[in-house]
Amino acid sequence: MAKELTSREENYSQWYNDLVVKADLAENSAVRGCMVIKPYGYAIWEKMHDVLDRMFKQTGHQNAYFPLFIPKSFLSREAEHVEGFAKECAVVTHHRLMNDPNGEGVVVDPSAKLEEELIVRPTSETIIWNTYKNWITSWRDLPILVNQWANVVRWEMRTRLFLRTAEFLWQEGHTAHATAAEAIEEATKMVNVYADFARNYMAVPVIVGHKSESERFAGAIDTLCIEAMMQDGKALQAGTSHFLGQNFDKAFDVQFANKEGNLEYVWATSWGVSTRLMGALIMAHSDNNGLVLPPKLAPIHVVMVPIFKTEEEHNAIVAKMEEMKKEIEAKGYTVKIDDRDNLRPGFKFAEWELKGVPSRIAIGPRDLAAGTLELARRDTLTKETVEEAGIGEKIAALMDEIQENIYKKAFDFRESHTIKVDTWEEFKEKIEQGYFLLCHWDGTAETEAKIQEETKATIRCIPTDSFVVEEEGKCVYSGRPSSRRVVFAKAY
RNA sequence: CGGGAUGUAGCGCAGUUGGUAGCGUACCACGUUCGGGACGUGGGGGUCGUCUGUUCGAGUCAGAUCAUCCCGACCA
């Protein structure tokens, strides 16, 4: 259970689990492995949702919605897919309850057993491809570029708040194309949308790359991903985009007539990000005072704390704040005036810092007389007294600066924890210290498995962006020849 | 599913050899406070995770079960 954070002397080193609870983001629910996301936390998810949704639409996608329940037989159509998900499915077997004959509450009505069990979707490929079968007959129907915002359920052995909950919110894009090249282009385009989102909105640097065969999505030909580094040096897979080849459309017999009138199977992709991004955001930026939110995803940009003794002072200061609030809101930022009269300023400062609000304005009688205010920023925990004139521009500039600074801090951290490694001894040493290791790998699953067994490190990705290091070398484990470096790390 | 730990007030905890539940904090009221997590006085709040046993009597002992946390295996 999370510790109550009431004392400033409290050791906040368990910033992850503790802060998300105290910071009003999420708490465990009565349902195993599921989470309750409180309003403040959900507001952050809504921000992510809105930005991503806009990006999807800009790249030509539309939203749609498919059923929560998947007939069991659908799931088993694609062999690798069912093997990958079978162990973690919630299954609906009955559709009715009845009063307990013994008078003890309600029980499942045995006569209401379903003919075919329904699976609560762990992902929607199967039910969507079963639907696409009816949508696709001609080359003129392609491409289909559809996204769904939904919840999914994966009954994991072990859950972890935000990173691996039994139920989570996500979006899943499912597209159909006439050619393999077009589908590959789509999968690549979308992983880059995710990378753009992570870097420019979440302020989290990510590496784009391919998964190795063993880490691939169940049923995919190729899985692209973005990998982020958390503050403990561990990697977090923050988003994936799959080239599915023709596996699903063949399983559901989705063919179209091409321009020559011949029947062909389509080419598919799927891609998704989830509430795991909330975990990434928290773990990438938080400090011992709580969350640090990038302005572009913060539900509140500026909190104003009046400092007063008398009601007259309170009224005068809040009136001034209302003016400033209008000016700042005109610039497109959200302002919260915290004029609660039962709490002292210091308490409010600490509370809003815990929630990660990027900046704070404090005004007291002395400021009111001098036409100044105290402007504090969350990322550096510094504060300065500034003139109140032009506060709108000042906040706008500050938000840009904070957004940039948070990214730079995370980027510098990753840079300082990423090294090229060429010997097995160094590999074992550095992996324990929380590094991303760029090393040569012979390309075999055996070597990958051995390395994981001995060090718990996995291949996070085979990079495709600026991390690509094409060079001849020898596998760090087996010594066999290799033509490029891959990223090894311990992962969540 | 294996190993370990824990379930008592919203949260964090105490509760002795079994005798019918307490502390801190939060909450409510009043007063004094208010530029970095205030203080005083008074007050409200608990089927002790659940079930079954042992007992005159169970928060306490036994068994089962559920859940949570940590470590493995599995995964976004």
Whether the beta carbon of A6 falls within 7 A of nucleic chain B: the reply is yes
Assess whether A66 and A179 both reside in one domain: yes
Whether the beta carbon of A237 falls within 7 A of nucleic chain B: the reply is yes
Residue A449 sits in a domain of what CATH number?
3.30.110.30
DSSP A423-441: SHHHHHHHHHTT-EEEEE-
Last-in-domain residue among A372, A400, A428: A400
Assess whether A27 and A127 both reside in one domain: yes
Assess whether A32 and A165 both reside in one domain: yes
Domain that holds residue A429: 418-489
Half-sphere exposure of A227 (CA within 13 A, CB side): 30
Q: Write the pLDDT tens digit of every residue in A267-318.
A: 999 999 999 999 899 889 988 788 899 999 999 999 999 999 998 999 999 9
How far: A174 CA to B49 C1' (Å)?
43
Last-in-domain residue among A257, A285, A313: A285
Distance CA A437, CA A426 (A): 10
CB A483 within 8 A of CB A470: yes
Assess whether A259 and A348 both reside in one domain: no
What ipTM does the predicted assembly reach?
A: 0.86
Whether the beta carbon of A84 falls within 7 A of nucleic chain B: the reply is yes
Nearest nucleotide to the CA of A214, by C1', is B75
- For chain A, the domain total comes to 3
Last-in-domain residue among A260, A285, A310: A285
Assess whether A255 and A359 both reside in one domain: no
How far: A158 CA to B74 C1' (Å)?
9
**Residue A458 located in a structural domain:** yes
How far: A313 CA to B40 C1' (Å)?
25
Half-sphere exposure of A317 (CA within 13 A, CB side): 27
**Residue A1 located in a structural domain:** no
How far: A329 CA to B33 C1' (Å)?
33
pLDDT of residue A10: 33
pLDDT of residue A294: 98
**Residue A455 located in a structural domain:** yes
- Tell me whether residue A90 is exposed, middle or buried, using C-beta atoms within 10 angstroms of its C-beta: 0 to 12, 13 to 18, 19 or more: middle
How far: A343 CA to B44 C1' (Å)?
21
How far: A104 CA to B61 C1' (Å)?
29
Protein residue minimizing CA–C1' distance to B36:
A346
Assess whether A197 and A323 both reside in one domain: no
* Residues of chain A (131-150) having a beta carbon less than 7 angstroms from strand B: none
How far: A359 CA to B76 C1' (Å)?
32
**Residue A3 located in a structural domain:** no
Q: Taking the complete model, does pTM exceed 0.90, yes or no? A: yes
CB A249 within 8 A of CB A132: yes
How far: A24 CA to B25 C1' (Å)?
18
Residue A375 sits in a domain of what CATH number?
3.40.50.800
Assess whether A207 and A248 both reside in one domain: yes
Assess whether A37 and A157 both reside in one domain: yes
Identify the segments of chain A with pLDDT beneath 70: 1-23, 28-30, 102-105
Whether the beta carbon of A456 falls within 7 A of nucleic chain B: the reply is yes
Mapped onto helix, strand or coil, the DSSP state of residue A402 is helix
What are the angstrom distances between the C-alpha of A393 and each of A86, A201, A333, A412? 55, 21, 11, 28
**Residue A202 located in a structural domain:** yes
**Residue A293 located in a structural domain:** no
Nearest nucleotide to the CA of A310, by C1', is B34
**Residue A64 located in a structural domain:** yes
**Residue A211 located in a structural domain:** yes
Whether the beta carbon of A356 falls within 7 A of nucleic chain B: the reply is no
Assess whether A350 and A449 both reside in one domain: no
Assess whether A395 and A425 both reside in one domain: no
Measure the CA angle with vertex A315, ends A311 and A316; round to 5°: 120
pLDDT of residue A22: 54
CA A97 to chain centre: 37
* Residues of chain A (378-407) having a beta carbon less than 7 angstroms from strand B: 381, 383, 385
Nearest nucleotide to the CA of A309, by C1', is B34
Assess whether A371 and A324 both reside in one domain: yes
Q: Strand B positions with any atom < 7 Å from protein CB?
A: 1, 10-13, 24-28, 33-38, 66-76
Assess whether A250 and A306 both reside in one domain: no
Distance CA A434, CA A347 (A): 35
pLDDT of residue A204: 97
How far: A14 CA to B16 C1' (Å)?
33
Residue A40 sits in a domain of what CATH number?
3.30.930.10
